[in-house]
Structure 1
Amino acid sequence: MKQTEPDFWVLEYVTITKDPRTDLVVAIGGTDKAAGILQRTGGFLSAPGPRGDYHRLPHGLPIEQQRLKATAASHALLAAGHSVHLDPTLNMLVAPDGEREAALRYLAGLAERAAAATTSSEVAEVLTEVAAPVHGLLPLAREVVVRAWIAASDFQGAAPTGEPDPIAGLGSTATSMSEAARAILHARNHVARPAQRPATTSPPPSHAQPAKSRRR
């Protein structure tokens, strides 16, 4: 029996996101009905694109206005039965710094775990979170510094001759962070080893002779 392909509603799927190059809020996909909703409820404008028309918010809108209009349009589309993906950074119902707050809670939790540790293995687990290769907090922070160093060097160029270059110092900072991560891992490996009890020493042999021998 020959199976027929299902009828997908791909064209009715709408993505509302922010273009990182232009900072414009754009809506891609959807039908003519969706286009009307975008224009009426969100103030989106129709514009020609390389792959057909798309919709965008006007230039120069403040960030809060962008979020307000994008959120209103997405809810109107959902209410009309359209499938919508709204960029979380544009969602007025989500705190924009939610990820940052989650990161701060995670760091505070690590500090609490270290303070409340009752075994050396629990301390080692915390140190692993901090300095583990690739996914540890310190290597990830180092990667941020390295990328910022590269970007800043492209923007600023070399410092005038004879003057210290603070941007070049970011390279030294990244190296120091790598060394710090290695030192923490070394300490972590030491902490993770089972504690060794000091060897018990037997008392030295007595040279005193038995009393019976002394009487002879």
Structure 2
Amino acid sequence: MNQHEPDFLVLEYITVTKDPRTGLVVAIGGTEKAADILQRTGGFLSAAGHHGTYHRLPHGLPVEQQRLKATTASHALLAAGHNVHLDPALNMLSFPNGDRDAAQRYLGHLAERVSAAETSSQVAEVLTEIAAPVNGLLPLTREVVVRAALAARALEGTPPGDELDHIDRLGDITHSMSMAARVILHARNHTARAPQKAPTPPPSTPRPPGSRRR
């Protein structure tokens, strides 16, 4: 089967990315020196497009091989002084738990906000982020548990009658999570309506006694 080369516009800087139409990892732009580095360090192949020459990895490489070659070539280009943009999805040096770390930072930030709250409305704002019906943390977590229960049931089937069905218990948990979200929202509404505590005025400084007249 003949492979047709896609068209890419050659740019002055080098972009290493994955073409969504073909699944090919391509490097667009650069000089002949950059092309030599791409070929030697990443195994890129030269290809002629309608807008000029570009470089791509061979067809059929596993995803991890694509990422390894793209990362190696990009860092070799950077070390040689070239301007390179590497698609983050191809960067093997990026943190695999980036989303998890961001979620943990977000939760820690919420805890800090509510600990430092000086008004009831500030507390209500944090409770809203936790239990908002669509984008709240608790409803989103419940959605994950629901999908996990459905996937587990589809993969494992129904257990024997005398065996405890832990997957069915996930359904009970999701109901409890929904009830917890409602309780938090009621608390949010109550907190938002609570009268704001007036700031305590600073203590007045006593006036010095007037001097006696002679």
Q: What is the TM-score of this pair, normalised by structure 1?
A: 0.61
Change over 3 Å in CA distance of 1:66–1:174 after alignment to 2: farther
Distance, in Å, in 2 between the alignment partners of 1:113 and 1:168 is 37
Query: Cα deviation per residue 1:171-211 (whole Å; 9 max; x = unaligned)?
Result: 222221111111100110001003399xxxxxxxxxxxxxx
CA distance in 1, matches of 2:26, 2:149: 35
Correspondences of 1:25-64 after superposition (within 5 Å): 26-27=24-25, 40-43=40-43, 55-56=58-59, 58-59=61-62
Determine the structure 2 residue equivalent to 1:158.
158
CA RMSD, 1 decimal: 4.0
Correspondence list, 1:61-76, <5 A:
67-74=67-74
**1:1-216 equivalent positions in 2, closer than 5 A:** 9-10=8-9, 15-16=17-18, 26-27=24-25, 40-43=40-43, 55-56=58-59, 58-59=61-62, 67-74=67-74, 86=87, 88-195=88-195
Work out the CA distance in 1 between the residues paired with 2:160 and 2:44: 48
Q: Could you tell me which amino acid in structure 2 is paired with residue 165 of structure 1? A: D
SS in 2 for 1:145: helix
Contact 2:119 2:196 in 1 (8 A): no
Deviation at 1:73, TM superposition (A): 3.8
Given that residues 38 and 73 in structure 2 are in contact (C-alpha distance below 8 angstroms), is that contact kept between their aligned partners in structure 1?
Answer: yes
Contact 1:117–1:123 (8 Å) recurs in 2 = yes
Match for residue 211 of structure 2? none
For the Cα contact (< 8 Å) 2:71–2:86, is it kept in 1?
Answer: no
Q: Distance in 2 between matches of 1:57 and 1:43?
A: 13
Q: Percent same amino acid among aligned pairs?
A: 57
Q: Deviations over 1:82-107 (max 9, x none)?
A: 99662x24313422222211111110
Tell whether the 8 Å contact from 1:14 to 1:82 is kept in structure 2 after alignment. no
Aligned length: 173
Contact 1:77 1:84 (C-alpha < 8 Å) held by counterparts: no
Structure-1 separation of matches of 2:9 and 2:162: 61
TM-score normalized by the length of structure 2: 0.62
What's the offset of the Cα at 1:132?
0.7
Secondary structure of 2:135's counterpart equals coil
Query: 2:166 is paired with a residue of what secondary structure?
Result: coil
Deviation at 1:16, TM superposition (A): 2.5
Larger gyration radius, structure 1 or structure 2: 1
Q: 1:28 and 1:157, CA in 2 relative to 1: closer, same or farther beyond 3 A?
A: farther
- After superposition, give the CA deviation of every residue in 1:34-85 in whole Å (9 maximum; x if it has no partner): 999766433479xxxxxxx9845645x8x5x654323124557898x99966
In structure 2, what is the Cα distance between the partners aligned to 1:57 and 1:38?
18
SS in 2 for 1:167: helix
Q: Unaligned 5+ residue runs, structure 2?
A: 1-6, 46-55, 198-214
